[in-house]
């Protein structure tokens, strides 16, 4: 797949019960770049496996499972667990309890962990590749959520299509972005897509947008300067906290 003289290289990984996609935009597909793609794919795979070992609620010896059994030692012994725990509690407070990091009465921050994992891997394993002259842009997605960046001075933009949850062959809007994060959350009736610099934040607000009415969600949009779209039976576009378009789907 090419854009002008730019080539998009792609690899996929299955970890954490998710499909992860790595993309590199290059001006060359020479053996050096292909080897970098191979090596970064291996690093990402190992990194995601390690995150799953530490934070999966389905692993008896994970930090989350220990915490669920009443052992609070992970909060003090692991900076990563502490960061996730604090993000989960803060998200519950910011959303007025619409997001709750619990399942069956036990602490379960899986929604946050998935997006946190993408950001960690992106920052630690992919971002250094932008120092390579032949690589212009990088991308990592897990299911419907993604994090991406473009080298300063490049004209490349990632094409992010938002399809209608009731008709996935229909594209309701398209974003052309260089840097940032996009998260989507949907149910049977609607989908909320949020653009943010933080994928963890985007994931939380997409969850809230789909699990509230538009009237309930709009104060959050305004207060936190959210950008994105709610689509389904109606399309509601908003940018930096303000509604820019609201229309019924025909």
How does 157-192 read in b/e, with b if 16+ C-beta sit within 10 Å? Answer: ebebebbbbeeeeeebbebebeebbbbbbbeeebbb
pLDDT one digit per residue (tens) for the chain, 250 residues: 444 488 999 999 999 999 999 999 999 888 889 999 999 999 999 999 999 999 999 999 999 999 999 999 999 999 999 999 999 999 999 999 999 999 999 999 999 999 999 999 999 999 999 999 999 999 999 998 999 999 999 999 999 999 999 888 999 999 999 999 999 999 988 999 999 999 999 999 999 999 999 999 999 999 999 999 999 888 999 999 999 977 664 4
Residue with tokens 């009443």, as numbered in its chain:
70
Domains, the chain, with CATH or none: 1-150 (3.10.520.10), 157-250 (no CATH)
C-alpha to C-alpha distance for 120 and 236, rounded to whole angstroms = 31
pLDDT for residue 1: 42
Phi, psi (degrees; rounded to nearest 5) at 73: -60, -35
Instruction: Please state, as a whole number, how many other Cβ atoms lie within 10 Å of the Cβ of residue 49.
Output: 13
Residue among 231, 137, 123, 146 nearest 196 (CA): 146
Terminal Cα distance for the chain, rounded? 33
Instruction: Please state, as a whole number, how many other Cβ atoms lie within 10 Å of the Cβ of residue 199.
Output: 28
pLDDT for residue 112: 98
pLDDT for residue 3: 45
């Amino acid at each position: 797949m090419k854009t002008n003289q730019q080539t998009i290289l792609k690899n996929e990984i299955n970890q954490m019960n998710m499909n992860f996609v790595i993309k590199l935009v290059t001006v060359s597909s020479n053996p050096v770049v292909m080897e970098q793609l191979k090596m970064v794919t291996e690093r990402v795979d190992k990194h995601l496996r390690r995150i799953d070992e530490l934070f999966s609620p389905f692993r008896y010896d994970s930090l989350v499972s220990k915490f669920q059994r009443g052992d609070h030692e992970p909060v003090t012994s692991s900076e990563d667990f502490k960061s996730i725990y604090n993000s989960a509690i803060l998200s519950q407070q910011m959303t007025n309890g619409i997001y709750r990091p619990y399942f069956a009465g036990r602490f379960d921050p899986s929604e946050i962990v998935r997006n946190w994992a993408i950001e960690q891997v992106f920052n630690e394993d992919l971002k250094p590749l932008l120092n390579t002259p032949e690589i212009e842009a990088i991308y990592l997605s897990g299911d419907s959520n993604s994090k991406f960046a473009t080298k300063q001075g490049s004209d490349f933009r990632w094409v992010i299509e938002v399809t209608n949850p009731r008709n996935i062959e229909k594209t309701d809007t398209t974003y052309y972005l260089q840097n940032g994060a996009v998260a989507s959350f949907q149910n049977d009736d609607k989908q909320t897509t949020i653009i943010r610099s933080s994928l963890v934040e985007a994931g939380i607000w997409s969850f809230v947008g789909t699990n509230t009415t538009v009237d309930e969600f709009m104060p959050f949009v305004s207060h936190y300067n959210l950008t994105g779209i709610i689509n389904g039976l109606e399309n509601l576009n908003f940018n930096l906290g303000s509604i820019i378009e609201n229309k019924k789907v025909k």
